[in-house]
Structure formats: C-alpha cells, structure tokens
Amino acid sequence: MIAQFKHRAYKQAISGRLAGTSPDARIPDGGRTQRIFNRTMFVLLGKLAKLDGLVVDGEIQYATTIMQLLDLKGLDRQEAIDNFELGKEMDTDVMPFMAELNSCIKQRSALANLFLKVQCRLCFVKGDIRLKEKMLLRDVAEALGFSKAEFLDICNATHLEADYNPQHGRGFLRNAYHTLQLQPDAEDRDIRRAYLRLMARYHPDKLVQEKNLSEEALKSAAEKLTAVRNAYEAVCGFRKIRA
C-alpha cells in the first residue's frame, strides 16, 4: 500500500513538472518507477539526438533542462548523463528500455503522453522531425499504446506548440524561466541581467565570506548555481541568443 502511494505521488509530481503546470512540485522518492523512468527518458533522448550523426548544443541544453524538471542532482544527474551517452551508441536498442517502462506506467496514460511529447520536442530543436526520428518515435508510441493516428496527432500538436505558442506550449522551458525568476515574455537583455544577478548571489567566492555557513548550505548554493547556469543556457538556446 505504501509503495503504491509513493508510486502514484511520484508520477503526479513529475507529470506536473513536465507539463509545466507545477514546476515547483516536490518530487518524492519513486523507487523502481523513478529509476526506470529516468533511465528510459535519457537513453531515448540520446538515441534521438544522435540519429542524424550530430548532437548539437541545443539538444544537450534540452536534455539538461529535462534533468532540472526531474530534479536530478549529484549521482542521479550523472546517471542521466551516462544514459544519454548510452543512447548515443550505435548498437543501443531502446525498445527493451521501453518494455521495462511499460511495467511502471500505464499505456495511453497522461504520463505516457507526456513522455512521448518530451521526446518529440527534442526533434524540433533542429527544426523538424527527420524520417529516422519519426520511425523510431512511431515505434516508441506503439510501445506506449498509441496508434499511428494518435502518434501523428501528438507529433503535430507538439510541432504547433514549437511554432506558434513558445511561451505556453513548451512546458520544459517554464522551469528555466522560473529558475531565473523571469516571465517567459522577458526581454533578451533581462535574461542576461537575471543570470548575472543570481550567479553573483550564489557564487562560492561570496558565500565563503559569510560566517557560520554550514557545509549543507554551501552544497545547496552550488546546486542552485548549476541550476541557474543550466536555465540560462536553455533559454538562450531556445531564443537563439549568445549565452
């Protein structure tokens, strides 16, 4: 009963974060579900990014933003990076990972839909979904219980979000703006100002001057510094401005 409750609470939290509706939701320990979801998420992101032979900065920034949304830190973050690299390897088959994911989340569920959208959005970082990417995503969609028609609807809706509704459609960016303490309609110059202000606030050189600062407080500040830097790079990559 307790394990089932944790499983449900975890899925609700990450659904809110990935959808952009609850970017501040605390993510409880999801146990086996969390491990499998994160592993499958980043193996597939790595595979899609590498399918055309070249992984660009925007794809890395996107994957980094997903790490933030899933609140991955320390060893969990490094594991996500390792799984992204595993996905990039030519002989990595992602479908066994999808089969394992299906043992944790229901097919055709809201979370399955979000998982597929996250993968689709990565493809639009380079402009559009290429044939190899679409073929792989169709297999992923089928594994998640979606028909070909449903996959195309999800894919088209994601494309429309990218083209016509960048501020509200791209939930993965909302957390980045929130981290920078900005609204999505902020001016480009405000992005840089917010970044510099927050970097100065959490910079180690400033913090060591404060007395009686615990090791835990310093670690928390370091994590915030990393989150600010990643958020800044994600927003700059999306807006196509120099970081």
Q: Say if CB 158 and CB 151 are below 8 A apart.
A: no
**pLDDT reported for residue 167:** 37
Please choose, from the candidates 121, 114, 105, 119, the residue with its C-alpha nearest in 3D space to the C-alpha of residue 16.
Answer: 114
Q: Say if CB 170 and CB 152 are below 8 A apart.
A: no
- Tens digit of each residue's pLDDT (9 = 90 or more) over 151-169: 999 988 887 665 434 333 3
Domain ranges of the chain: 2-171, 180-239
Q: How far is CA 60 from CA 78, 122, 146, 157, 238, in A?
A: 14, 10, 27, 23, 12
- Give Cα 232 to chain centroid, integer Å: 14
**Class of domain 180-239 (CATH, top level):** mainly alpha
**pLDDT reported for residue 206:** 67
- AA identity, residue 88: K
CB-count burial class (<10 Å; 0-12, 13-18, 19+) for 198: buried
The chain-wide mean pLDDT, for the chain, equals 85
**pLDDT reported for residue 27:** 93
User: Minimum mean pLDDT among 52-66, 83-97, 201-215: which range?
Assistant: 201-215
- Tens digit of each residue's pLDDT (9 = 90 or more) over 85-116: 999 999 999 999 999 999 999 999 999 999 99
Q: Say if CB 55 and CB 96 are below 8 A apart.
A: no
**pLDDT reported for residue 4:** 56
Q: Say if CB 73 and CB 223 are below 8 A apart.
A: yes
Q: How far is CA 188 from CA 125, 164, 192, 195, 243, in A?
A: 19, 19, 7, 11, 11
pTM score > 0.85 for this model?
Answer: no
Average pLDDT over residues 33-42: 97
